Amino acid sequence: MIINNFMANMTEKESATRGIWTAAMDYAFNKESIAKEHLIENISNGKAVILHNKNKDKFVGIGRGLTTKINASIGTSTNHIDIKEEVRKAKIAEDGGADTLMELSVGGDLDFIRKEVLNNTSLPVGTVPLYQAFREAIDRYKNPVKMPENLVFDVIEKQCESGVSFMAIHSGLNLISLERLKKQSYRYAGLVSKGGAYLVAWMIENNKENPLYERFEDVLKILKKYDTVLSLGNGLRAGSTHDSFDRAYMQELIINCELCDIARDYGVQVIVEGPGHIPIDEIEANVKIQKRMSNEAPFYVLGPLVTDVAAGYDHISSAIGGALSSSYGADFLCYVTPSEHLGLPSGEDVEIGVKAAKIAAHIGDMIKLKKNGDDLNISKARRDIDWEKQFKYSIDPEYARKLFKLKNQDDTAGCSMCGEFCAPLRIRKYFKYEIKQGKKS
Ligand code: SF4
């Protein structure tokens, strides 16, 4: 029997542990190539999670044995508030193939913006509750460091109630990780996480432990009630390739992995977040260390960016980092747009960022899950100069078709790239192509 878990008042993890197959598992299962027993086992032991858009009853599975998923972040800034534009970006991201959205607004009426985005997408929506807590502290007290501790817990509950599927919560940035940051004589790029930087300022100014760490059980109680997935935030992530893997980052990661165990024992679904900026030769170790220390919790990487100099092209830098991360086992990639480091992304930037991240996820899955069926099919179509099939197996069929039409008169021969020097046209009469997937058919 399939149980609708939302009604059963259990988290997906608790259901999986009891061997109950839920509607959410069924939904994820039907979109993936994984055996039912593996999916339920992975959810039970915390190696996979299921995100739920509660307003539209849509689900997305993330983690072991599942395809790499991509997130598109949208949201207002304090100096650019255009709610219609953010809703447009949400639709562009969904149409472009994003698996989840993060609504990261910091300017305007945050409850209203979140509601508008939730009403206009069927993707699971994530947030960073600290943003709203600091926003409200600024509005009420004119100073974010005056944020009362309870406010962030109220915001978490309010956002859960509104239908948020997952939350980046910075519980691992505690006094120990802050001490590690101070002792290593700081960094090239300092702190780049908004939530992390504001939280550090709050802890220093109030001379207090991070309430999200100190009262971690209160966080878990709320998330469990709504089966909102906990994404343990990476507030000390490097903003420069020079700073990657430093002691502060490692300290926070260790604490996050400890908290991940506690969340699992509590029945809460949990993801661990990673970098950031990281040199390409450190990616393998980064994924393996996170997987080992967290007992294979789903790993959510923000990019990562493999160089610091690609301003205007950071979607490419992050696609390189994302593809490698996924190939080594990362499960969830946050896209980066061409506007990264330069300004608030436009709808067009969102579209480019989503496409770049989708390519990265696919490249990773070719290695991680041996998922190369479309690559074989498009290669064969290229050999046979079958344009319809080439479009069909492209990552963006519409765009491929549009470019082809723009650059060619007809579709009977090769294309305008080589004209009469088309290699497949020249050679095909000499060979019988009967080879499929490396073997004679
Ligand atoms: S003309 Fe060149 S690019 Fe175009 S299909 Fe033939 S070989 Fe490929």
Question: What is residue 82's three-state secondary structure?
Answer: coil
428 and 351 part of one domain: no
What is the position in ligand 1's atom list of the atom closest to the CA of 385? 5
Last residue of a domain, one of 307, 342, 368: 368
**Mean predicted confidence (pLDDT) in 72-82:** 95
pLDDT at 441 > cutoff 50: no
pTM: 0.94
State in Å: Cα 397 to ligand 1 middle. 18
pLDDT of res. 409: 77
pLDDT of res. 55: 87
> Nearest CA to 101 among 84, 82, 88?
88
Residue 241, both tokens: 């390739």
Q: Is the CB of 204 under 6 A from ligand 1?
A: no
Q: What CATH number does the domain containing 344 carry?
A: 3.20.20.540
56 and 182 part of one domain: no
Q: Tens digits of per-residue pLDDT, 421-433? A: 999 988 888 887 6
357 and 324 part of one domain: yes
State in Å: Cα 432 to ligand 1 middle. 19
pLDDT of res. 376: 96
pLDDT at 311 > cutoff 50: yes
Per the structure, the count of domains in the chain is 3
187 and 332 part of one domain: yes
53 and 120 part of one domain: no
236 and 147 part of one domain: yes
pLDDT at 373 > cutoff 90: yes
Residue span of the structural domain in which 41 resides: 5-61
Q: Are 82 and 76 in contact (CB under 8 A)?
A: yes
What is the position in ligand 1's atom list of the atom closest to the CA of 423? 7
What is the position in ligand 1's atom list of the atom closest to the CA of 421? 1
Specify the residue for token string 């945050």: 110
pLDDT at 440 > cutoff 60: no
256 and 328 part of one domain: yes
Q: Is the CB of 424 under 6 A from ligand 1?
A: yes
Q: Tens digits of per-residue pLDDT, 222-271? A: 999 999 999 999 999 999 999 999 999 999 999 999 999 999 999 999 99
pLDDT at 411 > cutoff 80: no
State in Å: Cα 367 to ligand 1 middle. 27
State in Å: Cα 385 to ligand 1 middle. 8
255 and 401 part of one domain: no
* Atom 3, ligand 1: residue with shortest CA distance: 417
Single-letter amino acid, residue 392: K
* Atom 5, ligand 1: residue with shortest CA distance: 414
Last residue of a domain, one of 333, 352, 368: 368
pLDDT of res. 414: 84
15 and 51 part of one domain: yes
Q: Tens digits of per-residue pLDDT, 343-363? A: 999 999 999 999 999 999 999
305 and 157 part of one domain: yes
- Distance, in Å, from the CA atom of 296 to the CA atom of 287, rounded to the nearest integer, reads 10
pLDDT of res. 317: 98
Q: Are 46 and 297 in contact (CB under 8 A)?
A: yes
Q: Is the CB of 129 under 6 A from ligand 1?
A: no
Q: Is the CB of 413 under 6 A from ligand 1?
A: no
* Atom 7, ligand 1: residue with shortest CA distance: 422
- The least confident of 1-15, 59-73, 321-335 is 1-15
386 and 306 part of one domain: no
- Rounded to the nearest integer, the mean pLDDT of the chain is 94
- Distance, in Å, from the CA atom of 250 to the CA atom of 253, rounded to the nearest integer, reads 5
158 and 285 part of one domain: yes
Last residue of a domain, one of 36, 61, 86: 61
pLDDT at 200 > cutoff 80: yes
State in Å: Cα 154 to ligand 1 middle. 60
Residue 173, both tokens: 């940035």
Q: Is the CB of 276 under 6 A from ligand 1?
A: no
